[in-house]
Copies of this chain bind each other. A is one copy, B any other.
Amino acid sequence: VNLILLEPDEMRHDSTARLSDTRAAHVRDVLQAGTGDVIRIGVVDGPRGTAIVESIDDQGVALSCSLHDPPSPRPAVDLLLALPRPKVMRRLFAQLAALGVDRILLTNAARVERHYFDTHVLTPACYRPLLVEGLQQARETQLPRVSVHRQFRVLVEDVLEPPTSSTTRAVAHPGAGRRLHEVVGAGRASRVLLALGPEGGWNEFELALLESRGFVPISMGMRPLRSDTACVALLALAHDAVAAQGARPPDPAAVPARDGLVMTSHT
C-alpha cells in the first residue's frame, strides 16, 4: 500500500477523517505511524495529498487531511474482456486498477462458460475492494468503471459508442498479426480500447463483428497465454503505445491506418 484511499463520504467538512478498518491497522502496524506523522492519502475518484496522524490507538486512526494534488486524468485505456474463470477474474481486478484502466467491460463470448456470470466476483461488494487495493498499490485514485454484458452482440452493436479517430480499437487474437504499437502508431489516437477474448480465442462471428466496428486484429506472438498474463501484458503494451504517441515525433516507418477500420464512416 503506497497511499491510503478514503471514500468521499469519509472526509468530513473540516478535512478530518477517522479510519477503523484494515486501513487503520495498516497505518499502525505496517507504516508504524505515530501521532504527528504524515502519510500519503487520496480520495476515491478525487484528489490526492497528505494527512497528519492526529491520534492513533487500537480503536482507529484520526487524520487531518490536506488534499493539495488534483486527481490525475482518467487512464487512456479501456478494456473489453471476455469474462475469464472467476478465480482468474478475482486475481485480475487489483492488477487492472494498478496498471490503469478507465472502463472494464466484461462480456460473454461463445467460448465463455455461462456459469462464470453467476459468480459473486462480479458483484461490486467483491470487486470494489480489490480495485481499491490496486489503486492503493499504484498510488492512484481513479476507480475503473466496471460493467457486465451478457450479450456480446448487444454490447458491440448498441452499447459501445461508434468508433472515433481519437481512440484506437484493437482486438487481440492468438497467432500471427500486427503489433499493438504499430496499430496505435498508425492511428495517431490518444486512447486505446482493447478487446481480449477467452483463452480459446474469439470465434469467427465475434471477430468479424469486432472488425466491422473498427477493431484492428493484433497479436503478441504465437504463445497462447493465460487470460491474466495476457491481460497484464496487453495493458502494459497499450499504455506504452499511448505514451509513445505523446513522446515521439511522427514515425515515417509506421504502417498507414487501414480506412474503414481505425476510422469508419460512423465517425
Contact = CB atoms under 8 A, between A and B. Distances in A.
Interface residues of A, number: 39
Interface stretch (A80-88, A110-118, A148-156, A238-246): A238-246
A249 interface: yes
A137 B236 CA distance: 21
B181 A244 contact: yes
A11 B130 CA distance: 46
Contact of A100 (B2, B94, B223, B251): B223
A266 interface: no
A85 to B, nearest CB: 14
Contact of A179 (B94, B226, B247, B253): B247
Contacts of A247: 179, 182
Interface stretch (A13-21, A189-197, A227-235): A227-235
A225 interface: yes
15 contacts: A94-B226, A95-B226, A95-B229, A98-B229, A137-B224, A137-B226, A138-B224, A138-B225, A140-B223, A179-B247, A232-B232, A233-B235, A233-B236, A248-B253, A250-B253
A260 interface: no
Contacts of A53: none
A219 to B, nearest CB: 10
Interface in A1-26: 2
Contacts of A182: 247
B137 A181 contact: no
Nearest to A133: B226
Contacts of A237: 236-237, 240
Contacts of A139: 222-224
A144 to B, nearest CB: 13
Nearest to A3: B224
B179 A243 contact: yes
